[in-house]
Amino acid sequence: MSNFSSIIHKDKPVLVDFFAEWCGPCKMMSPILKEVKDSLGESVSILKVDVDKNQALAAQLQVRGVPTLILYKNGKQLWRQSGVVQKNDLINLLKSHV
């Protein structure tokens, strides 16, 4: 994922979802992230990264479990959590950084 750095260095929040196709909780996050994106629109970017296809990036960022969500803005990591995160919690978090 060569353009990862340029994506996370944007002025708007970028929520990165590290996931795997075989991961049950990751499948639960997908509709939640869609609802978050529908709710917040263009004020936030959501990037999905398959850890099996991007192992070097996952290792570099020390992603040990999936799903792992990391929030960036201007290239800085602002927040990170592993596991399923509820829609309202994500919306509140993202709104505080828009």
Cβ-based neighbour number of residue 34 at 10 Å? 12
pLDDT for res 1? 67
Instruction: Using a pLDDT cut of 70, give the percent of the chain over it.
Output: 99
Known active-site residue 94: no
60 among known catalytic residues: no
Instruction: Tally the domains of the chain.
Output: 1
Residue 19: give the domain boundaries: 4-95
Of 4, 7, 12, 23, the catalytic one is: 23
Q: What is the model's pLDDT at position 98? A: 86
pLDDT tens digits, one per residue of 41-94: 999 999 999 999 999 999 999 999 999 999 999 999 999 999 999 999 999 999
State the catalytic residue, choosing from 8, 20, 26, 71: 26
Strands (DSSP E) found in 1-98: 14-19, 45-50, 68-73, 76-82
- For the domain that residue 58 is a member of, what is the CATH number? 3.40.30.10
pTM of the full structure: 0.95
Give me the chain's average pLDDT, please.
96
